[in-house]
Every structure is written in structure tokens, then in C-alpha cells.
Amino acid sequence: MIKKQKKILGFKINKPQIIGVIVALFIIILSLIFLRGTDVFYFLLGIAFVIAGLPFFVSLIVESSAARNKEEMFLEFSRNLVESVKAGTPISRSILNIRTKDYGSLNPYIQKLANQISLGIPVKTALETFARDIKSQTITRAVTIISESEKAGGRIEDVLDSVAKSVAQIEKLRKERKAAMYNLIVQGYIIFLIFIIIMLVMQFKILPIASGLGETFGEAEAGDYGGTFGGMLGQGGEVATPEQLARPFLWLLIVQGFFAGLVIGKLSEGKIRAGLKHSFILILLAILISTGAKLFIGG
């Protein structure tokens, strides 16, 4: 049976995701009430983000794995269909004959396809429904070719053989691209970690020194120098503290992590949606490292 779930912004919403969001909101509310303004508050916000995002992160991985498995099993299904049709069996009868084989996550879709054919639904219509349910561009293109060839007649076995070879070639090219992009993915993560380290050095080493210089010149009220360090002065001429100057850093890391993850996903898998899991990991690293450093190092 093919399960249907509610979708919000393209995500299938399930109970673990709802529970994760509720727990995260509970942590945020308690933090706002009892710990607002402290370093622990920002660290707990990071933990809440992890709890809320983890179920979606796991769902992305599961969906991505299931989509790859469906395409791999469709290749096996196509090969079995080619063998049966080449033996002289019509394509409709061939689908009914091979439906009992194990095709992993593709089993419910093949069973539905076979049931529709057994009920007298035309093969072309049943195949279109099959492709629409799976929602894979590779499978949709292959099924479209098969259904149109079945409708037009001719040597359907040759068409099926060509489709099977085409799907196999697509899978091979996809794996080769992923392997070739592995080093680029690793480099992306390393560059982002270096960026975090630079932000931490600025926050804990450079800004305190700069703030101290600002206080010195602010107290001395040296005319020309006051203009130079005016950017470090708050309202009323007060010198901004290192904490105030460092506040934008976390948001800078989050924005950088989000878009860097999307780029990594687009380059490695060809889909921006695939980059969401990389974005989650990078944002998670940014929040936990930044807030953790502020809590344990910043004192």
C-alpha cells in the first residue's frame, strides 16, 4: 500500500517531526523565561534547532535513499521485462509475470501497475500512473518511451532494451559524478570550518583588543581619533562591547552555512533540495561551535 502524508513546503510531515518541533518550542520558551540574555540561552537555542531539524534531516536522507533505490530497482525491473518480452510474451502479460519478484521499495508501485493491467486498464494509462506515483524524472522519461512505443507497436523488445541501457548509463554517470565531487564536498566543509575558526578568533581575540582601543580613545576624546573609532561607539557616544560587536557573527555563519550547503548539494547531486541536508549539518556546526565557544571559552 502506498502511504500518503501531508506536505508542507515540499516536506512530508510525520509524527517525529511534529514532536521535534514541539519539544524545540518548549525549550525555547523555557529559555526565554529563565535564561534570556545569558550565554546558556544561545546554546540552548542551538540545541532546540538540532531537535527541531533532526527529524527533517533524517527524512531527507531516507527519501533520497529511497529515490535512489527505486531507480536502481527500476533498472532491474526493466531488464526482467526485456527478457520476458524477448521470449515472446506481450508486455502486459510480462508485467503480470514478473510482479512476484522482489524489487525493494518499488514493490508496491509494481503491484499497483499489475493490478491495474489485470483489471483491463490500458498499459499506457497504467504506466503513466506508475511514473506519476514514483515521481522520478529518470523513470518518467523511461516509462513515457515505453508507453508510446507500446501504443505505436513495432519491436517493443528493442525499445525496452534501449530504455534499460539508458537507465543503466544514467545511474553509472550519476555515481561517477558523485565520486568526482566527493573531494569538492570535503573541501566545502573544510573551508566552512576555517571560516568558523576565523570568526571565533575575531570574536575572542581581535574584538576585545579593538574595543579596548575604542574605550581609550573614547575616554581621551581625541578629536581626529574619535572620528576614526566612531564606528565602535554606540548611542550616546558609548563604546560598543565585544559582545555587541560579535552578535552579527552567528547570523553570518548561519547564512553562510545555509547557502554553502545548497551549493554543495547542487554540485554533488544536481539538486538544490539535496543540499538541504548539507545546510543542516553546516548550520548545526556553526550554532553549536559558536555558542559552545561563547559558553565555555568566553566565560
DSSP calls for 169-207: HHHHHHHHHHHHTHHHHHHHHHHHHHHHHHHHHIIIIIH
The closest alpha carbon to 207, from 256, 244, 253, 236, belongs to 244
* 16-55 burial: b if 16+ Cβ within 10 Å, else e: ebeebbeebeebbeebeeeeeeebebbbbbbbbbbbbbbb
The answer to whether residues 246 and 203 touch, using CB atoms and an 8 Å cutoff, is yes
What span, in angstroms and rounded, lies between the C-alpha atoms of 174 and 268?
Answer: 9
* 31 part of a folded domain: no
- Domain of residue 271 covers 181-299
* 188 part of a folded domain: yes
* 39 part of a folded domain: no
Grid cell 525555547 is found at 28
Domain boundary among 104, 138, 168: 168
Q: What is the DSSP string of 34-58?
A: HSTTSHHHHHHHHHHHHHHHHHHHH
What's residue 215's pLDDT? 57
Domain boundary among 140, 168, 196: 168
Neighbours of 59 (CB within 10 A): 18
The answer to whether residues 51 and 65 touch, using CB atoms and an 8 Å cutoff, is no
What span, in angstroms and rounded, lies between the C-alpha atoms of 103 and 90?
Answer: 21
Quick one: 152 and 194 in the same domain?
no
What's residue 194's pLDDT? 92
What's residue 150's pLDDT? 64
The closest alpha carbon to 72, from 159, 208, 164, belongs to 164
* 103 part of a folded domain: yes
Quick one: 281 and 188 in the same domain?
yes
* 79 part of a folded domain: yes
Phi, psi of 8 (to 5 degrees): -130, 120
State which H helix or E strand residue 8 sits in: strand 7-8
Tens digits of pLDDT across the chain (299 residues): 444 455 554 556 778 888 888 988 988 888 888 777 676 777 787 788 888 888 888 887 888 778 888 888 888 888 888 888 888 788 888 888 888 888 888 888 989 988 988 888 888 888 888 888 888 877 888 877 777 766 666 566 677 777 777 777 877 877 777 777 788 888 889 999 999 898 888 888 887 777 666 555 555 554 444 444 444 445 444 556 666 677 778 888 888 888 988 888 888 777 787 788 888 889 888 888 887 777 777 65
Quick one: 131 and 193 in the same domain?
no
Quick one: 156 and 254 in the same domain?
no
* 238 part of a folded domain: yes
CA distances 158 to 83, 132, 165, 293, Å, are 11, 24, 11, 63
- Please report how many Cα atoms fall inside a 13 Å half-sphere around the Cα of residue 274, on the Cβ side: 15
Quick one: 139 and 209 in the same domain?
no
Report how many domains make up the chain: 2
Question: Which residues lie across from 12 on neighbouring strands?
Answer: 7
| H-assigned helices in the chain | 15-34, 39-86, 91-98, 107-118, 123-134, 137-152, 156-180, 182-201, 207-220, 223-228, 242-269, 276-296
